[in-house]
Amino acid sequence: MTNVFLTRLDSPIGRIELLGDDVAVTALSIERDGALPHDDEPERSNEVLDEAHRQLDEYFAGIRTDFDVPVRLVGTPFQQAVWAELERLGWGEAISYGALAAAVGKPGSARAIGGAVGANPVPIIVGCHRVLASDGRITGYSGGNGIPTKLWLLGHERIGFAA
């Protein structure tokens, strides 16, 4: 059985909860309506989560533009392909759902892409907030408080979008 570790941190977009195993971050949740999924459980950190915490603090402070903490992304092969493309995006870069669909060899599947983006278990570290509609509009965000959270992240990275 794999050990499960948990830590939390405060951020400008609310409290963040990190889950991990012995070698990787496995989930990141952003507070929604004042709650996190594992609020009733005590923190039990490890070196991987301590490093993720440090890197997230640096990201929010504006001194880190990429993450190199190991993550374990569990999903379907399609989700894995979408998340791999998201991992290639850097600070301040955005992509459309359509371009993301083309990049994973599934042109015309923007709706399915949206589902895979929304299922990303490690937002921010794997930058799903960087996906916009083809006309640059914000169409949604499943992390934290939704669109206000995405707006903050886009503004933080100086990613332009259409109103």
Residue 43 near residue 84 (C-beta atoms within 8 A): no
Please give the Cα distance from 71 to 24 (Å, whole number): 5
Q: Beta strand pairing status for 131-132 and 16-20?
A: unpaired
- The model's pTM is 0.94
Question: Residues 128, 132, 153, 159: which is the catalytic one?
Answer: 128
Q: List 9's β-bridge partners, or say none.
A: 16
Is residue 88 scored above 80 in pLDDT? yes
Helices (H), 62-96: 77-88
Active site residue 128: yes
Tens digits of per-residue pLDDT, 7-47?
Answer: 999 999 999 999 999 999 999 999 999 999 999 999 999 99
